[in-house]
Amino acid sequence: MAKSTAFSFCHLVAYSAIIFSQLHAAKLEQQLQHQHQHQHRLQHGSNSKSNVSLFVFGDSYVDTGNWRKSTGISWKEPYGSTFPGKPAGRFSDGRVLTDYIASYIGIRPPIPYKWRKVVKKSYLEYGMNFAHGGTGVFDTMVSEPNMTTQIDFFQRLVEEKVLMKQHLQSSIALVSVAGNDYAAYVARNSNDLQKLGAFTEAIMDQLAINLKRIKGLGVKRIAVTLIEPIGCLPQQSASSSYKNCSEDWNSGCKFHNQLLEQTLKKLNDESNPPVFVTLDLFNAFFSALNRQRKHASGSMSMKNPLEPCCVGRVKGKYYCGSVDESGAKQYVICENPNLSLFWDEIHPSQSGWHAVYLALRSSLHKLI
């Protein structure tokens, strides 16, 4: 009798797991359909029947849902409150850079890698997003896959023919990475910043290897973002009460971007035809900041562009999305996120990303 009961219980558990898996898959399908409907409203005159596939590598600026729900702040309230109306794995109140790039080339955002087994295969025609928030070219302060491992995931899917030739023949890769490498370096070497230049060169060496791998796997165009002005992120400008950017940080970012452009030029010299292009996030962020400052000067409702919308109640202890032991919210949100350039201490709001996208848009023809 005991054996029969155990047998029945195991089958019940297995059956329940199958039902849960099916329900989870159906929920993801509904979420993707919902996002696709919103994406149609986001289109900016691009060809919605584009056959381009987009493959995304990097960090939280382009991650659309790869972090684990159990630990990822991007899956907790109030993230996703503007779009899609609930947490959806994006590190913002709404859309991020990936969404706007996908919209420009006329496709829905590619599915996150972690969803690949629970959605229809037809979704693969739009590409796949391998980016994980908090990661870098090298290992950072989070135990998520760095860029090399993300490319390993991509390579495995190509070798296993999950991603077929038709997915690669008109493909674009979007790479946004390195900010977390510098944050990790400073955290580990706070008293030894003199070697930061050598660290930047090490980033370039590994990045070049990574980009060659992506190209070797069949991607036809690879867009790499210049690093944003880290000194203007609220995390850095907080020391001046959000009045000024950190020029030291921004100087380091300029050095990084100069080396990156040199690295990509060298890679293009080795390619025929050229494959690598840059997306100038550095100047796009400044354009968005200046635009916000201009509007803020003539409006009482517009926020200081360096001040984030969502912050923890106690600086250094709580952050956007934090709750205490009892589950009580330990963060505050501005009245209207659409009037803020930054959502939290590091990430732009959806409105901020839209402003960055508008600054980039005239250069995006390089992608096609």
C-alpha closest to that of 25 among 84, 108, 111, 99? 111
State the pLDDT at residue 191.
65
Give Cα separations from 256 to 48, 138, 139, 251 (angstroms): 35, 15, 18, 9
- Please identify which of the residues 176, 347, 351, 354 carries the catalytic annotation: 347
6 band by pLDDT with thresholds 50, 70 and 90: very low
State the pLDDT at residue 299.
67
C-alpha closest to that of 229 among 270, 186, 287? 287
State yes or no: pLDDT of 233 exceeds 80: yes
Peptide bond into 308 cis (omega under 30): no
Q: Describe the crossing of helices 97-105 and 2-42 by its angle, rounded to 10 degrees.
A: 60
The residue type found at 362 is S
pLDDT digit string (tens) for 158-167?
999 999 888 8
Pairing of strands 111-112, 310-312: unpaired
344 carries an active-site annotation: yes
State yes or no: pLDDT of 272 exceeds 60: yes
State the pLDDT at residue 192.
75
Mean of the per-residue pLDDT values of the chain = 88
State the pLDDT at residue 137.
98
353 band by pLDDT with thresholds 50, 70 and 90: very high
- Please identify which of the residues 53, 344, 349, 354 carries the catalytic annotation: 344
**What are the E-state strand segments in 101-243?**
111-112, 127-129, 171-176, 221-225
State the pLDDT at residue 21.
38
301 band by pLDDT with thresholds 50, 70 and 90: low
Mean local confidence (pLDDT), 106-112: 96
Count Cβ atoms within 10 A of the Cβ of residue 108 and give its class: 0-12 exposed, 13-18 middle, 19 or more buried: buried
How far is it, in rounded angstroms, from Cα 100 to Cα 150? 21
Q: Which of 39-48, 64-73, 213-222 has the lowest mean pLDDT?
A: 39-48
34 carries an active-site annotation: no
Mean local confidence (pLDDT), 337-363: 97
pLDDT digit string (tens) for 44-64?
444 444 789 999 999 999 999
State the pLDDT at residue 293.
87
The answer to whether the pTM exceeds 0.85 is: yes
171 carries an active-site annotation: no
How far is it, in rounded angstroms, from Cα 278 to Cα 118? 33
- Please identify which of the residues 53, 59, 60, 81 carries the catalytic annotation: 60
